[in-house]
Structure 1
Amino acid sequence: MTLLTTYIIAPSFRSPASPSSSPVSEFHDGHDDSSAYTFYHWSRIDEFVYFSHQFVTVPPCGWVDAAHTHGVPIYGTIITESAAGEETCQQLLRSQEVVEVVVERLVAVSRHHGLDGWLLNIENAIDPAQLPLLRHLVAQLTSRMHQEIEHSRVIWYDSVTRDGELRWQDQLNEQNECYFDLCDGIFLNYGWTPERLAASGERAGRRRADLYAGVDMFGRGSLGGGGFNVIQPVAESRWLGLSTALFAPGWTHERLGADRFALAEDVLWSRLSTLLGARGPARLPLVTDFCQGRGLKLCADGQVTRAKPWHRLSAQSPQPTFLQTRRPAELALTDADGRPVQAGFALRAPALGASAKREDARTMEQRRLEAVSAAGEVLPQPGWQVRHTDKDAFSGGGCLAVSNASDQDGVFRLFACDLSLSSGRQSLAVLYAVKTTDDGCALCVDLTDRREPGVSRYVLEPPSGLLGTEPGLRADARRLSVHLPVPADQAEARLAGRPLPGPGHNGWQIRHYLLPVSGDDPRVVSIGLFLAARTSLLIGYLALQSTQPP
């Protein structure tokens, strides 16, 4: 199975009022600009690097909280550059004792701030006499991080060669392999070609997934020219079974502006989703109000508690695994320099380890990747739109707006999950809040069980109980059970210990359910919404908790 690691490096946005503030302290308690850059497509990435051009960059606590809320490890950056960087390195590498003191400080910083690793980016020449100490720094930082922080990683950036020269290789070769061998991975510079990338994969052997093919959203030498065309280099990396390092995703905000940011961001990640895996919640309880950590106002139980814009990433709730947005014609698909993106392309990288026996299978996989890349704008469920909105909220600063403009009833999957429930008889308490004028909607919770194949779908009907066993509910499910709401106190008693919403206001409806569950290792694998044709709703809260039956 191919591992694709989408490696995000976020720009450091400064407050205009404090241009000299450091990244570790800025926006500690949030700020009032709800239009500032944020990231919420966590389900499509595996690692996150917070990047700036300061010597040691520690991600602000809001970014750490948001990443960990979604189970994504987050790394800081150590960078030296130009003449000032050479001077820093001369001091840093003056003795083994200094190196080890610095390593211990970095490990302590990681523990204190909840960091999971570091990007090590040395972009200046190194005195050849100090190269042994540079290698010791790489090895020691990697070793000590592994000892102190489980699953931590240290990634080397392809810059300095084994001879101490600043010379980007755009591949893994004899010039930078000595650093790759001492740490957890290498971030290849952006000027690689598919042929060089394939050779790098061959050289890495079993560590192929530890090669991160650098892709710059701003182009600057990247295959495809960046922008919406980053799908091309990502497809080449995916085809070779390598990981991907996507640099500066803030392009959608910086180049297209705050007004178009959310739409452009959703279109970009919708295109990339054809190539990327998807992660979702992995443990109970699951509680979300779908807030992105920002809003035009702040709400609680459907009522406005603060009528001013705000932005605080620490308040970001678990985001859905899947969204769906149709690109409007006025948002042109271009690369970073404004050139139109072509509808399709042919993969250029030769297959790794090609053999006659597997040639047909490889050709089929190549054609599949080319097809899904070319079809990046084909919506999985035509007629559906699933997007965040800050125009209304049950809790926090926004909610999900879901609409089914098609002529068919159906279920849209919001979360891919792996939520384990204890074996034996028990209940799953579920609470969700919606705003709708139509009873043609229901929450669908899908479970699997080792004893029986297929999916059991629990349909959480509206109070009217009008849905019954609509054909659209049965898609992808072998077994179907329909459940009506229970009195609030029954469900809320089973959610004890969790902060629960009060009664809904301004049209928000809160629905409570207790689902009987039994079997051998039952697991929630999907959560979705059923909508009848040509209907819509807002969903602003969702909570699931396993509990003993009443």
Structure 2
Amino acid sequence: MNPKPTRRTVLIAGAAAAFLPALPAPPARAAEGAPKATAALQPYASYWYPDSLPSGSPGPGITWRSLKTWRAATDPDLAFNASSVPLARRFTPAPANTTARAGQARIQSLVSFGPTSSNPSQGSATADTYALTHWAYIDELVFWGGSSGEGLILAPNAPVVDAAHRHGVPVLGNVFLPPAAYGGQLQWTRDLVQRDASGHYPLAAQLVAVAAAYGFDGWFVNAETGGGDSALGADMLGFVRELERLSEARGQRVTWYDAMTVNGSVSWQGALNSRNQDFFQAADDMFVDFRWSAESLASSADRAAQLQRDRYELWAGVDVESNGSNTSVDWDAIVPTDRPHVTSVGLYRPEWTRNHLPAGHTPEDFHAADDRFWTGRSLDPSRPDPADGWRAPAVSVADRSTVTSLPFASTFNTGHGLRWYEDGEVASGTPWNHLGLQDRLPSRRWVVRTDGQRPAVRFDFADAWRGGSSVLVDGALDRPAVLDLYATRLPIGPDTVVELTHRAEAGTVRVELAVAAAEPDEAGAAPPYTYLPLPAGTADGWRTSTVRLTGLTGTVHAIGVRLTATGDGGPVRWRLGRLAVHGRTGTGAPAAPSGPRITAASGGDLRLAWNHPAPGTVRHYTVHRVLPDGTRRFLGGTCQRAYFAGGLTPATGERAVRFEVRAVGELYTASAPATVTHPW
């Protein structure tokens, strides 16, 4: 059998769109004796066909489902897949440099976090994952994927939505109707836009119901199956209009991809024009196909204005799947430096920053590539490199922050790690990933203000206070260096304190807390910091220093640290494991979970669930196994009130496995445990 065409050969041949996720092999019958997906307890991210299913049988690990028959009440994995973190409000501080702008171009990111099928609902036991952290530059995240052999409609899994929402980024599920070259069937398009006896579009209501139940923010609609006519085009337009109307009523949004035109044919325009403007008018925004030019984007911006729409509701597609930050882009056509931005930017597949790395790469390797992609070659958004051919988002777009209320804390956990740490000690030596456990992270990575040699700053995975990572400052400090950490809008009261958990690993260093109670005078300027010394301490290893904001009133606008070498001038290695800001109230541990129970079991695979009297006080939950000798072993964490524990085996003499579930608050104070046992 001839192999399926690659995305690039399709581009060259002009037979299909250039806008496709990786595809599995064509559907095949499951191998003899293969386990049925329906019997597995491991929950996965959900995916569907609109209504009719392919002929034949799904491949191993694939479950074919119809969106038309989906009901929240009978969704067995909903408790594992539904987001628990509300979408945070963001603010825009003074830009870190003079080229980044607020209120103009925005950034949309289309990311395939995993395969369509068998994408675990709550992370997995590997640190090798696309742990997106540069949320400050993103305005809309699309959970990209879908294939003709698995399913076409993807609901984002909870860890992605929880991490994005914590940073104020809405997340869209994906509706993908693939070209025929990729197995697309026009029947699936007709299924999606079918009408009921009253003339309504039942699958539009289903999509809105899924997003509401799962807790994400709407849908990206990408109709690329050719062969349609004007009647199908009219049905699709009616469907999008109804989807938008129902979505708006539930606080959701709809983005349309420039593929199908109003006459029902698939013809990528690379522009907003008369052939697709009705779809743009029916949706909140539109992704403009990659074949745009400077002229077509300029005309698109003009047409948007004529339609009394914002030009920045057009995302100009930038394909970075193959070359990432080495991609050649006509940036001046989108985000010129000498005049207003023309449109917004749609980044297709920025997970290149992970995917292009060689086998055996480390989390540090990934974050180095990701920082270069989002920040630029200088790795410091306060001083972009003007000779850098890659115009990173930080160069053009102002960063945002959600740090606006007390208590606030971060352990600089990126959502993956080689081990899990609690209070500076290894609680599990198993690699892991779970984006829902990610902290609110510094948005300007990494701004270092010094008149001397700039030390290297990075997320480091060799040690942590809690989670899997910490911030490491490494290098010669021949002059004092200020590291910007957070742009904030935190109220200052008489009892407000800042806590830093840190340690010096090489050299000796004086640490001061940097706090600004106002914005800088202009873009690119340093915050007007006041420097507050940390109490003296001589303890080796991790120590926590508490600083009162004496003499400051109003609002904290920025937090950082100033480091000064006090030894012989040799290299310094200093690690920051935790930062917390709080007052007298809200510092206690949350109430313990209640009603812990095993909801399903099969050998060493179990599903746990529990209740909580005040879930709004909980940041996440941790699950530990207690061994017969009393040893506690960290199994994992989740923001949901359900957890899957897989592959467990009895310890010597163990007649029943025992679990402890704890609620963890915003300051990482943990509740008393709720305990449940299950006989082997």
- TM-score, normalised to structure 2, is 0.60
Structure showing greater relative contact order (alpha-carbon pairs closer than 8 Å, 6 or more residues apart):
1
Residues 110 and 164 (structure 1 numbering): CA distance in 2 closer, same or farther, change over 3 Å? same
- Residue 232 (structure 1) shift: 3.6
Gaps of 5+ in 2: 1-101, 377-391, 566-570, 587-680
What secondary structure is seen at the aligned counterpart in 1 of 2:549? Answer: strand
Deviations 1:332-382 (A, max 9, x none): xxxxxxxxxxxxxxxxxxxxxxxxxxxxxxxxxxxxxxxxxxxxxx99996
Residues 35 and 94 (structure 1 numbering): CA distance in 2 closer, same or farther, change over 3 Å? closer
More helix by share: 1
Q: Structure 1 stretch 86-95 or stretch 110-119: which is displaced more?
A: 86-95
**1:216-295 to 2 correspondences below 5 Å:** 216-218=319-321, 226-230=323-327, 232-239=329-336, 240-257=341-358, 259=361, 260-271=365-376, 272=392, 273-284=394-405, 285-295=407-417
What secondary structure is seen at the aligned counterpart in 1 of 2:443? Answer: coil
CA distance in 1, matches of 2:354, 2:276: 34
Do 2:512 and 2:534's aligned partners in 1 also have CA atoms closer than 8 Å? no
**1:38-57 to 2 correspondences below 5 Å:** 38-53=131-146, 54-57=151-154
Q: For residue 211 of structure 1, what is the amino acid of its counterpart? A: L
Residue of structure 1 aligned with 2:287, choices 187, 195, 202? 187
**1:503-522 to 2 correspondences below 5 Å:** 507-516=541-550, 519=553, 522=554
**1:149-160 to 2 correspondences below 5 Å:** 149=251, 152-160=252-260
Matched, 1:207 2:310: yes
What secondary structure is seen at the aligned counterpart in 2 of 1:426? Answer: coil
Deviations 1:204-263 (A, max 9, x none): 1141010100000036xxxxxx52244744453122341110010111222223614222
Matched, 1:71 2:168: yes
Q: For residue 35 of structure 1, what is the amino acid of its counterpart? A: D
Residue of structure 2 in register with 1:416 after alignment? 487
- Residue 482 (structure 1) shift: 3.1
Q: For residue 158 of structure 2, what is the amino acid of its counterpart? A: C
Residues 479 and 37 (structure 1 numbering): CA distance in 2 closer, same or farther, change over 3 Å? closer
Deviations 1:117-172 (A, max 9, x none): 211100113332232221111111111111112xx321100001111111100111
- TM-score, normalised to structure 1, is 0.73
- Residue 11 (structure 1) shift: 1.1
Residue of structure 2 aligned with 1:523, choices 551, 555, 558? 555
Gaps of 5+ in 1: 220-225, 327-377, 456-474, 488-503
Residues 187 and 381 (structure 1 numbering): CA distance in 2 closer, same or farther, change over 3 Å? farther
Residues 481 and 246 (structure 1 numbering): CA distance in 2 closer, same or farther, change over 3 Å? closer
Residue of structure 1 aligned with 2:242, choices 136, 140, 153? 140
Residue of structure 1 in register with 2:298 after alignment? 198
Question: Once superposed, what is the RMSD of the aligned Cα atoms?
Answer: 3.1
Do 2:258 and 2:288's aligned partners in 1 also have CA atoms closer than 8 Å? yes
Residues 20 and 156 (structure 1 numbering): CA distance in 2 closer, same or farther, change over 3 Å? closer
CA distance in 2, matches of 1:482, 1:158: 54
Residues 279 and 478 (structure 1 numbering): CA distance in 2 closer, same or farther, change over 3 Å? closer
Residues 297 and 532 (structure 1 numbering): CA distance in 2 closer, same or farther, change over 3 Å? same
Q: Structure 1 stretch 159-168 or stretch 440-449: which is displaced more?
A: 440-449
Residues 313 and 404 (structure 1 numbering): CA distance in 2 closer, same or farther, change over 3 Å? same
Residue of structure 1 in register with 2:232 after alignment? 130
Matched, 1:31 2:124: yes
CA distance in 2, matches of 1:301, 1:510: 11
Do 1:428 and 1:517's aligned partners in 2 also have CA atoms closer than 8 Å? no
**1:341-356 to 2 correspondences below 5 Å:** none
Residue of structure 1 in register with 2:515 after alignment? 445
Matched, 1:390 2:512: no
- Residue 4 (structure 1) shift: 2.2
CA distance in 2, matches of 1:46, 1:58: 19
CA distance in 1, matches of 2:174, 2:263: 23
- Residue 481 (structure 1) shift: 5.9
Do 1:486 and 1:514's aligned partners in 2 also have CA atoms closer than 8 Å? no
Residues 148 and 379 (structure 1 numbering): CA distance in 2 closer, same or farther, change over 3 Å? farther
Residue of structure 1 in register with 2:18 after alignment? none
Do 1:486 and 1:513's aligned partners in 2 also have CA atoms closer than 8 Å? no
CA distance in 2, matches of 1:484, 1:380: 22
